[in-house]
Structure formats: structure tokens, C-alpha cells
Amino acid sequence: MEKRTFLKTGLLFTIGAAVTPLLKACKTTDKAAAASLAPPTKTRSGAFELPALPYATKDLEPYIDTMTMEIHHGKHHNGYVTKLNKAIEGTKYANYELEDILARVSSSTSDKNVRNNGGGHWNHSLFWTIMAPGGSPATGALATAINSTFGSMDKFKEEFSAASKGVFGSGWAWLCVGADKKLFITSTPNQDNPLMQQIVSKTGTPILGIDVWEHAYYLKNQNRRADYIDSFFNVINWKQVGKNYDKAMSM
């Protein structure tokens, strides 16, 4: 064997020997994390269903147009529900509540459809409720927490807008309550969300979220995501977000 070939083979062997334990360690860590979550105590009967909108599809005009709402809710969200029901058939998730599914879903190929469609269903179910015609102001404990955490509502809007604009491609930006009961802003790709303990780097309970997939704004705003984000602030139902905050704080 030539000296060059011998050295190359030896180098590859050395790299392989070093990397293999790391890969095994990662797999072990993933399995250990998944195993740390006990089976849920509650079970669900019946298929997941598309929730009705709490307002008419035209009611968020002129900020979010009617056709976008019709397609977004009736086609996109409905598609996630249909595909989720199919994806969990015959799996360990078949009778789990949605939050229990999201907490346990992994990044494995076998969980891909459950992850994408479970996230899509949960994310949109929250999204519809935290909007309302004309919006509403933040008050009470939530307003106090926002001012304390971000300095002011305007500062919060700046940080939340930056997180929303900063999502590369498709995804979501979130306002969450962390395990320490403090507010934080984060973003996730695709249909992931901060409830996915096996996937995201920082977990929390989302109380407000904005969908920045193009299907959420392209008919009205084309590629102007920033315009859509500005419009979104005009329809935020802070009264509902406040209820979400109170619930998360009591958990």
C-alpha cells in the first residue's frame, strides 16, 4: 500500500472512530428524552376536527382579506386536520390529546407527518382565537408582564416584528410563557412550536403566535411580509391572549 493511501485510510478510520460514539450518544440522548415523558393520563375519543372560526371570514378586513381567510382556514387548516387523523392511525398517538402528541413527537422520519400536521392543527387553532375584528388592547396582568419584560408595548412590537420577519422561509413567531413564568419571544420553522419538547431548543406555552407562511398573506401582500405583520397588530385579540397568559401562569 502506498504511503499516501495508508495515511488517508488511517485518517478516515480515526475520524470514524471518533464520530461513531458521538452519534450513538445523540441517539441515546434522544431516546432518553422521549422516555422521560410518561404516557398521558387522559385519552381522546374520536377524530380531530376543524374548529369553527369565532368570526366570519370577512370580519378581519381590511387587514386580513376574506379570500385568504377562506383558503387558510377551509383548505390549509382543514388539510392539516385530515392528514393528522390519518398519520396517527395505528400509532401510539392514536388516542392522545393534541398537546400530549406534540410534547412527545420526535424528529424521526416515522414521526414526520404527525409532527407537521399535529403542529399545523394546534398552531392554527390558536391563531384564529387570538385575532378579532378591530382587535383589543392588552390589559391587566399581561400588560404589566409585557411592560416589565420588554419595557413597553411598543418595544414588544419591535421585538415580535423582528422575530416574525427573521423567520427564514415558512414558520411562526411566538410570545410564550416559560417554565420560569416569564415571557419570551421565539420562532420556529414550518409547523413546529414551543410545545414540542423533543424538538425545540427552548420550550414554553405559546399565548400568541403569527403564521408567516406565505399562504397567510401572499394574496393581499405578495412578498411584503412586513406589511402583513403590521396589519396583524390591528387585529390581535389581546383579551384572549390575556386569558391564555392567565392559564399558562396557573399551570
Radius of gyration for the alpha carbons in the chain, expressed in angstroms and rounded? 21
Global confidence as pTM: 0.85
Distant-in-sequence, close-in-space partners of 126: CB < 8 Å, separation ≥ 6: 206, 209, 244
- One digit per residue, the tens of pLDDT, for the chain of length 251 reads 444 443 344 434 443 444 344 344 333 334 334 446 788 877 888 999 999 999 999 999 999 999 999 999 999 999 999 999 999 999 999 999 999 999 999 999 999 999 999 999 999 999 999 999 999 999 999 999 999 999 999 999 999 999 999 999 999 999 999 999 999 999 999 999 999 999 999 999 999 999 999 999 999 999 999 999 999 999 999 999 999 999 999 99
Burial 203-223 (b: 16+ CB within 10 A, else e): bbbbbbbbbbbeebbebbbee
pLDDT at 37: 76
pLDDT at 251: 92
Q: Strand 205-211's sheet: what is its strand order? A: 183-189, 171-177, 205-211
Distance CA 28, CA 30 (A): 5
